[in-house]
Chains A and B, each alone.
Chain A
Amino acid sequence: MATPNQFYFEDVEIGKVLETPAMTVTDAHVALYGGLVGVAAGPGGVQDFLPLCLSSGLGWRAPQPPVVVLAFMGFDWKFLKPARVGDTIRSASKTVAKRLLKESGVIIEERTILNQRDEILQSGKLTLLVARRPAP
């Protein structure tokens, strides 16, 4: 997995804001996700966890190599405004804390999910276990 287009714990900069490309949430997303997980759409016609799921994929397309995530450890999240079908969402994130463990590291990432009007739909903190750079 140690390819040059990946970031490791040591490469993660605290405070650097990373924005993902945007994606329009469609009826197809709502139907596919609803069928897969069996969750009815929320107040805005989009399931509550769907924007976060889409942001996890958008994160891979950010203008920086993806961090080697070993495990998603937890998150603390607020739903501020319902997403609607037709909204074009993207996420902005920054690492706010790093802690080195023996063979890996923990990073705390602040993430917001925004719509096309720059309104914050959801936001919170994610705790991720990430790989350390392998010894050369």
Chain B
Amino acid sequence: MSLPQDISIALLHQMLRIRAFEEKCAELYSAGKIRGFLHLYIGEEAVAAGIMPALTLEDAVVATYREHGHALARGLSAQSVMAEMFGKQEGCSSGRGGSMHLFDVTQRFYGGNAIVGGGLPIAVGLALADKMQKRNRVTVCFFGEGAVAEGEFHECMNLAQLWKLPVLFLCENNLYAMGTALSRSESDTDLVTKAASYNMAAATVDGMDVEAVYRAAQEAVGAIKHLGIPYFLELRTYRFRAHSMFDPELYRPKAEVEQWKRHCPITTFEQRMRDAGLLDDAQLVALKADVAHEIAHAVAFADAGTWEPAEQLERDVYTRQVSGA
């Protein structure tokens, strides 16, 4: 543990915030307040929390359908995300997207993509625009290890390296693509070798250790900005809950889940902070109270939110309406 206290507190706070948000979502989903699909980030908080500080507001973020943690860590308010989950028009996507399609252009947060691998080309394009307009910015693209099987992954890795685009490819390897273990779907489960096959700089990181993630992110973003190359990080992590709410987890043994829970990024970091004298009980209680307050406020905000009038259904299909059509 060698991070200064203020950064450590901030990282812990972010992880606690994400955890609390996700648990509240699980509860609200069971109650029917949140509908559709719900993919929770519980257990993986260190990744989003550790990566975001390496970015400026000028950089861009593309994520997946399991993106609540990324959205919150990036800077979307808990209330706008919660309202979106409820489908209210006060949500970040005006209630149009729901859990899987969080967007906030002011935070340069480009979703929220429900197609596995579907966000990678967009990230490549955002980076291409930056390079062509000579802006020294990074586009961070989060995806799961399941996306590595999709053609888009290979097309994008190749294109980004070929054209030297400033993309940070962040593969969150939680070992399971829905119900299929990585070992059952990949001939080579060592993911950085795939990056090497495209000549791309890469590293593997312990995704349960927020400090390791933080440092790896700083280094990767630095390399991208200074060398003008893309970068690939594999973050080894684990989701403590099912793929989505409707998943009886027949594909992994309970013992394995319990084993990984012992490496919970939050409790392990808490302990390390305590051991380094950077955290005491009072501070932790204060942090948790702050988080609880924020989440409760977000729920109240979402509850009080309003439904978009159905007459507005066709708004924003096109910018320009053509009469007579």
Q: Do A and B come from one complex?
A: no
Contacts from A to B (Cβ < 8 Å): none
Residues of B within 8 A of A (CB): none
